[in-house]
């Protein structure tokens, strides 16, 4: 069973071919980060244009890398949402054209389901599992009791974790995307500033990072007014300590409460060294298996879309040729 996956929800044009939902035969990612850097974030129009320019080339490369023929492809899976509509449309239309021309079933995939299924490219799932999704646009805790079934138990009420990283990075004049820069700086500094932790109501698995972001802004501003200079590495370390503390604590609490057999982490912020080591330590103590994908599977790619598509395909889920891009959609 070979699934061809396509991902264009943000600033990565990606095509992959995955065998039996688990084995990567090709995983081509063309990143546009350089084009968006000088704007400090993703510019939707530029993203769409890049996808249009890259998609055919990336597709050809993936087919070449996998060394398979179109006859062997079982279905086309594509990210239908959530994401930038103009960006998503490029992938959705490419997938529809291929499905029509090559007579293949079409499967619309939720981008976050893809981030979760990136983990299955490493190891089979054990249910019930808890997924912590931490990306540029999402911060969520999801319980899965079976393949393709998602129960959202907590989510951010304002900024996503990655978004907070990107915004704080801007305050520190670090290049976009800010996560890796802050992560690196944090490793050089110390937690000298006590930033707030948004625990929210007792028992809540929701998150909030906008207060933390404001607190960082105010701290930098106040120090400047007093003529003091704070070390950027200490700001980074203190900010990261707050984010990691909240993410780790809520994930641990949810894992215990739902008595899960496995915890998986997904999304670009899963690359964070502080978060990785904090989660590794906690779950090693609890003896609950923790899985964090390697970097190239944490950030946007199409192998994860093909992996999620393989399960949807096996469950008989199909999309029709009127499949449309969706800026927001519930996890399914
Ligand atoms: P979504 O998946 O929610 O649509 P996205 O696809 O833009 O959003 P990803 O590509 O999964 O998000 O992740 C990108 C985010 O990950 C950025 O916000 C980036 O700053 C963050 N990030 C990457 N590396 C690190 C790191 N080492 N530490 C913290 N954040 C990081
Ligand atoms: Mg991205
Ligand atoms: Fe993503």
- Over residues 67-92, the pLDDT tens digits come to 999 999 999 999 999 999 999 999 99
CA–CA dist 312, 74 (Å, integer): 12
The phi and psi torsions of 272 (rounded to 5 degrees) equal: -65, 125
Q: What's the confidence (pLDDT) of residue 280?
A: 98
Q: Is the CB of 10 under 6 A from ligand 1?
A: yes
CA–CA dist 284, 302 (Å, integer): 30
**CA 225 – ligand 1 centroid, Å:** 32
Ligand 1 atom having least distance to the Cα of 161? 18
Instruction: Kindly report, residue by residue over 7-44, the tens digit of the pLDDT.
Output: 999 989 999 999 999 999 999 999 887 878 878 788 88
CA separation, residue 274 to residues 99, 109, 185, 327 (Å) = 42, 30, 11, 31
Using DSSP, state whether 277 is helix, strand or coil.
Answer: helix
The pTM assigned to this predicted structure is 0.94
Query: Whose Cα sits closest to atom 8 in ligand 1?
Result: 136
Q: What's the confidence (pLDDT) of residue 128?
A: 98
Instruction: Kindly report, residue by residue over 275-325, the tens digit of the pLDDT.
Output: 999 999 999 999 999 999 999 999 999 999 999 999 999 999 999 999 999
CA–CA dist 246, 186 (Å, integer): 16
**CA 9 – ligand 1 centroid, Å:** 13
User: Residue 313 CA to chain centroid, in angstroms?
Assistant: 22
Residues belonging to the binding site are: 111, 115, 133-137, 166, 179, 183, 272, 300
Helix (H) or strand (E) holding 133: strand 129-134
Banded model confidence at residue 46, pLDDT cuts 50, 70, 90:
confident
Using DSSP, state whether 41 is helix, strand or coil.
Answer: coil
Query: Whose Cα sits closest to atom 12 in ligand 1?
Result: 136
Which ligand has its closest atom nearest to the C-alpha of 137? 1
Query: Whose Cα sits closest to atom 20 in ligand 1?
Result: 179
User: Residue 278 CA to chain centroid, in angstroms?
Assistant: 19
Banded model confidence at residue 118, pLDDT cuts 50, 70, 90:
very high
Instruction: Kindly report, residue by residue over 194-218, the tens digit of the pLDDT.
Output: 999 999 999 999 999 999 999 999 9
Instruction: Kindly report, residue by residue over 217-267, the tens digit of the pLDDT.
Output: 999 999 999 999 899 999 999 999 999 999 999 999 999 999 999 999 999
Q: What's the confidence (pLDDT) of residue 331?
A: 92
Q: Is the CB of 180 under 6 A from ligand 1?
A: yes
Using DSSP, state whether 206 is helix, strand or coil.
Answer: coil
Place of tokens 């997938």: 95
Instruction: Kindly report, residue by residue over 123-177, the tens digit of the pLDDT.
Output: 999 999 999 999 999 999 999 999 999 999 999 999 999 999 999 999 999 998 8
Residue 108 above 90 pLDDT?
Answer: yes
Averaged pLDDT score across all residues of the chain: 96
Q: Is the CB of 47 under 6 A from ligand 1?
A: no
Q: What's the confidence (pLDDT) of residue 31?
A: 86
Q: Is the CB of 136 under 6 A from ligand 1?
A: yes
């Amino acid at each position: 069973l070979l699934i061809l996956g396509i991902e264009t929800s943000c600033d990565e044009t990606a095509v992959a071919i995955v065998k039996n939902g688990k084995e990567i035969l090709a995983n081509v990612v063309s990143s546009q980060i350089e084009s968006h850097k000088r704007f400090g974030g993703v510019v939707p129009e530029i993203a769409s244009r890049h996808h249009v320019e890259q998609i055919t080339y990336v597709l050809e490369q993936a087919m070449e890398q996998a060394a398979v023929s179109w006859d062997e492809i079982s279905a086309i899976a594509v990210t239908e949402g959530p994401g930038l509509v103009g960006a998503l449309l490029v992938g959705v239309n490419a997938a529809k054209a291929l499905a029509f021309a090559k007579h293949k079933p079409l499967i619309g995939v939720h981008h976050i389901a893809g981030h979760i299924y990136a983990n299955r490219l490493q190891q089979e799932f054990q249910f019930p599992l808890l997924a912590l999704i931490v990306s540029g646009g999402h911060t969520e805790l999801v319980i899965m009791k079976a393949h393709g079934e998602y129960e959202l138990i907590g989510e951010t009420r304002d900024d996503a974790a990655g978004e907070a990283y990107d915004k704080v990075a801007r305050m520190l004049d670090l290049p976009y995307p800010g996560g890796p820069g802050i992560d690196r700086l944090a490793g050089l500094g110390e937690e000298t500033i006590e930033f707030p932790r948004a625990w929210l109501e007792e028992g809540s698995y929701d998150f909030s990072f906008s207060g933390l972001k404001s607190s960082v802004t105010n701290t930098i501003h106040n120090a400047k007014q007093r003529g003091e200079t704070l070390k950027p590495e200490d700001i980074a370390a203190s900010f990261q300590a707050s984010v990691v503390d909240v993410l780790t604590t809520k994930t641990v609490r949810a894992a215990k409460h739902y008595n899960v057999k496995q915890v998986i982490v997904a999304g670009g912020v899963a690359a964070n060294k502080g978060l990785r080591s904090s989660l590794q330590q906690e779950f090693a103590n609890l003896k609950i298996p923790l899985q964090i994908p390697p970097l190239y599977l944490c950030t946007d790619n199409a192998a994860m879309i093909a992996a999620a598509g393989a399960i949807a395909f096996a469950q008989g889920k199909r999309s029709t040729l009127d499949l449309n891009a969706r800026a927001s959609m519930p996890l399914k």
